Amino acid sequence: MSSGQKEPPSPSATSLSQPKSFNDTALCRWSTLAAIKILKRIRPRAGCVLMLTSRVCVKYGSRVHLSEASTMRFISQHTSIPVPKVICAFTHSGRTYIVMERIQGDMIANGWLRRSEESKAKLLSQLAGLVQQMRDIRPPEGTRIASVDDGSIYDCRLPGPSLRFGPYDTVQDFHRYLRRGMEFDSRVDLDVQELIKWHEKSWPLVLTHGDLSSLNILARGDEIVGIIDWETAGWYPSYWEYTSANQVHLFWSFWADEIDKFLQPMPEELAMERIRQIRFGEFN
């Protein structure tokens, strides 16, 4: 770090707590539930996100979690990464509702192949800078593999009895979960032995989005105006962003050629993660 640079921020441990509702007033609850009831059949919907107006949307469902709202608020407080502004977040009858700003922009997946090389380079350079802002946040003392509020984490691409898992006190505990509890055994295949040895290494924990696909990055022209879908975010080993980003759907395979331009390439880590996917439950 040069002498002219400010020291990266470090959120205080006291700022991290279990996920809580935000702006959970009777008026916010009533207006949100009423709007959904009235508009869900006539307004556009993308997955679990309902567009209420041109400026406001709501993400809701049994799999939506308050930690996503906590993450977006945390990101907005500690970086200049453009994320949806959270208006309110609450749970009701077993479902979580996150009302937030609707960012005006297009997924960069749309029209990417028609962009000039100069346009692509501008966007990828911006994206690299935004990722670096996340990396510059020093985890508080005692941080473990968890959501930003020290709760469970989520990844629908991982096999297991629940889509939510953790938190984990150590990287090794997390890795043990990923390989379904298997410990080292000289009788298992050599690639599995190699994986388990690799899993015993140490990595720094970094703030991670966990799904930097071309569908979750919004742009207007040559400017990134939003990064969305923070449901998979949390404190993870430093390689997790890269290996997760490389889980590219065949329909969006062009994105695989761009990842090394905004994330630090980690070929060894990617090779090991692919062994884990094959042996212990491949990503879908």
Q: What average pLDDT does this structure show over 245-268?
A: 94
What pLDDT is recorded for position 13?
38
What pLDDT is recorded for position 194?
97
CA atoms within 13 A on the CB side of 258: 22
- CATH 2.60.40 for domain 106-280, yes or no, is no
Paired sense of beta strands 86-92 and 95-101, if any:
antiparallel
Under the banding of pLDDT at 50, 70 and 90, the label for residue 18 is: low
What is the C-alpha separation between 250 and 247, in angstroms, rounded? 9
Average pLDDT, the chain: 91
What is 121-187 written as a DSSP string? HHHHHHHHHHHHHHHTSPPPTT--BB-TTSS-EE-TTS-SS-SEE--BSSHHHHHHHHTTTPPP-TT
Q: How far apart are the first and last CA of the chain?
A: 40
What is the C-alpha separation between 32 and 53, in angstroms, rounded? 12
Query: Does 8 score more than 80 pLDDT?
Result: no
Backbone angles phi, psi at 262, to 5 degrees: -130, -10
- What digits encode the pLDDT tens for the residues 79-134? 999 999 999 999 999 999 999 999 999 999 999 999 999 999 999 999 999 999 99
Query: Does 2 score more than 50 pLDDT?
Result: no
What pLDDT is recorded for position 10?
42
What pLDDT is recorded for position 11?
44
Q: Which CATH class is domain 13-101?
A: alpha beta
What is the C-alpha separation between 202 and 143, in angstroms, rounded? 14
Query: Does 284 score more than 60 pLDDT?
Result: no
Under the banding of pLDDT at 50, 70 and 90, the label for residue 23 is: very high
Going from N- to C-terminal start, the domains of the chain cover 13-101, 106-280
What is the C-alpha separation between 153 and 157, in angstroms, rounded? 12
